[in-house]
Amino acid sequence: TDRSVLLWMPLVVIGLMIVRGITSYVSSYCISWVSGKVVMTMRRRLFGHMMGMPVAFFDKQSTGTLLSRI
Residue type, 68: S
Predicted pLDDT at 11: 92
- Full residue range of the structural domain in which residue 9 is found: 2-69
Q: Report the SS3 class of residue 61.
A: coil
More confident call, 7 vs 22 = 22
What percent of the chain is predicted at pLDDT more than 90? 63
Q: What is the pLDDT of residues 23-42, one digit of tens each?
A: 999 999 999 999 999 999 99
Rounded to the nearest 10 degrees, how much is the dihedral formed by the CA atoms of 38, 40, 41, 44?
A: 160
- What letters, b where the CB count within 10 A reaches 16 and e where it falls short, cover 17-28? eeeeeeeeeeee
Predicted pLDDT at 62: 86
Structural domain count, the chain: 1
Q: State the average pLDDT over residues 3-19.
A: 92
What is the distance between the alpha carbons of residues 59 and 24, in angstroms, rounded to a whole number? 50
pTM above 0.85, yes or no: no
